[in-house]
Amino acid sequence: MEEVYLSEFPDFRLNANPDILKRWHEIFRSKQHITVPAHSVIAEQGKRASNLYYIESGLVEYTYIDSEGRWNFLELLGDHCVFPLQPLFGNNAMVGTFSALEACTLHVIDAQEVYAYLRRDSDLAFEFLAEFGRITGGHLRQIGMNANKTSNRVEQVLCLLAEYRLKYTRKGENPVIGLSQVDLARITKTTRVTMTKVLSDLRQKQIVETTYGGLIITDLEALRHAAYAGV
């Protein structure tokens, strides 16, 4: 069966547009912040959402456990993203879990305070509507990940993460993805064995180097070409 490719691989919510939630950014940054250690749960599946969180720095993953007890990856959130929106406004239990993929700095607002802001200012509500539109893009990304063959899926996700890291990388240095192969396998919906095989191939091509606790992208342009060749 011929492999199916999309013309454009949908992005994670890594690179938030600062203009979409501009006024909310200002509100959140005036509130308390917390530091969350890597791999700790922030908002848990099945529980009510009582707070809204804003990511100042770090990566947060959104996963859920299905009826058969399988752990599924849904979304990856980066700085300037806000969560969880749907359960907070729908007054529903969390359908998934938000966890810190790495150490994160978060700003927190209590749900009742969020409601008070919205009652006073309709412009703030419109900002959230725009953000809801970005959330629905996650469904397109899920389709894209399932349609692409495994090697392209891994390479495309590595591209997105490397480009996200460029913001924090000094000029002349290579971006570093500080995630384990287990984490990367989960995010790309593949196995650890397959992840090791793909990374080995990229190392032989001198595109990546492995380091303690992560990867160094030594040739981002070559990685882009490998990820999107033939797409």
Predicted local confidence at residue 142, as pLDDT? 56
Predicted local confidence at residue 143, as pLDDT? 47
Predicted local confidence at residue 74, as pLDDT? 84
175 & 88 share domain = no
How far apart are alpha carbons 146 and 158 in whole angstroms? Answer: 16
Predicted local confidence at residue 156, as pLDDT? 87
Per residue, the 3-state secondary structure of 47-78, as one string, reads CECCEEEEEEECCEEEEEECCCCCEEEEEEEC
**Residue indicated by tokens 């994670």:** 12
Share above pLDDT 70 across residues of the chain, in percent, rounded to a whole number: 85
| Global pTM value | 0.81
Mean pLDDT, rounded, for 104-128: 91
44 & 125 share domain = yes
pLDDT at 145 over 60: no
Burial of 38 (0-12, 13-18, 19+ CB in 10 A): middle
Predicted local confidence at residue 207, as pLDDT? 95
Does residue 179 belong to any structural domain of this protein?
yes
**Residue indicated by tokens 């707070």:** 51
138 & 153 share domain = no
At residue 72, φ and ψ (nearest 5 deg) are: -120, 135
126 & 181 share domain = no
What residue numbers bound the domain in which 113 lies? 22-145
Does residue 158 belong to any structural domain of this protein?
yes
